[in-house]
Amino acid sequence: MSSDDKLILALPKGRILKEVTPLLACAGIIPEAAFDDPDARQLSFATNHPDLQIIRVRAFDVATFVAFGAAQLGVVGKDVLMEFDYSELYAPLDLKIGKCRLAVAEPIDLVEKDQPRRWSHVRVATKYPGITQRHFAERGVQAECIKLNGAMELAPTLGLCRRIVDLVSTGNTLKANGLVEIEQIADITSQLTVNRAALKTRPEQISGWIERFREAVDGS
């Protein structure tokens, strides 16, 4: 088999990876041993299928690799799909993992006196400036976004801005930083995502993997 016949499956590092691993097993994919070693510097991994290679990259970068066709399949959060809106990405399957929500939050001592419905302008720290601006624009509010890549919850405490837009799962991070969720923007789960052009040129190979993942999700 030439390397051109190989499919690349891009997976996100971090907490989603733990939830993806059992799904891989249900779909009959066994990565080489180094995949389970958190200290390994290796980024690309063979699997028990000679035509399937796995790469491990940052969550936002999974979407970029798949959109540009450098990977043909990927596990991408709905948050990332909404933020980038890449036309080359097709998300045929909800993997029902990584469940959380994207929400607006602010300090607990601001909640009682705040009137979000009267805002005309809001300054927000977020990893999601695109979603945030669209969300507020829908009700005529201009959102000024300060882009952060993590630890958004620190922004209000340190006076960067009073509101944040971030993912909330258990709510523990908000609570630990004196913040309260005041508005939900979207429910988020991870999606199996494919490159549209690859699906056209290699329909059987890619559809086969979509079906295997579908059966894995239905059986889990």
Beta carbon of residue 181, minimum distance to ligand PRP (angstroms, whole number): 9
Q: Which residues of 178-217 are buried (b: 16+ CB within 10 A; e: fewer)?
A: ebebeeebeebebbbbbbeebbeebeebbeebbebbbebb
* Residue 149 Cβ vs ligand PRP, minimum distance, rounded to whole Å: 7
Q: How many residues bind ligand PRP (CB under 6 A)?
A: 13
Which residues inside 5-24 make contact with ligand PRP, applying CB under 6 A?
14-15
Q: Which span sits near ligand PRP by CB under 6 A: 21-29, 35-43, 76-84, 146-154?
A: 146-154
Specify the residue, 6 or 101, whose C-beta has the smaller distance to ligand PRP: 101
**Of 42 and 169, which CB lies nearer to ligand PRP in the complex structure?**
169
Please identify which residue in 38, 140, 150, 159 interacts with ligand PRP, judged by CB under 6 A. Answer: 150
Separation in Å, CA 78 to CA 31, 122, 161: 25, 24, 26
Residues 6+ apart with CB under 8 A from 54: 8, 9, 10, 11, 29, 31, 35, 44, 45, 47
CA distance 212 to 210: 6
Q: How far is the CB of 86 from ligand PRP (least distance, A)?
A: 20
Residue 1 vs 158, nearer CB to ligand PRP: 158
Nearer to ligand PRP, 71 or 103 (CB): 103
CA distance 76 to 89: 10
Beta-sheet strand order (sheet of 190-195): 44-46, 52-57, 7-12, 73-77, 190-195, 89-94
Q: Return the number of the residue (122 or 168) whose C-beta is nearest ligand PRP.
A: 168
Residues 151-180, interacting with ligand PRP (CB under 6 A) = 151, 153, 166-173
Q: Which residues bind ligand PRP (CB under 6 A)?
A: 14-15, 150-151, 153, 166-173
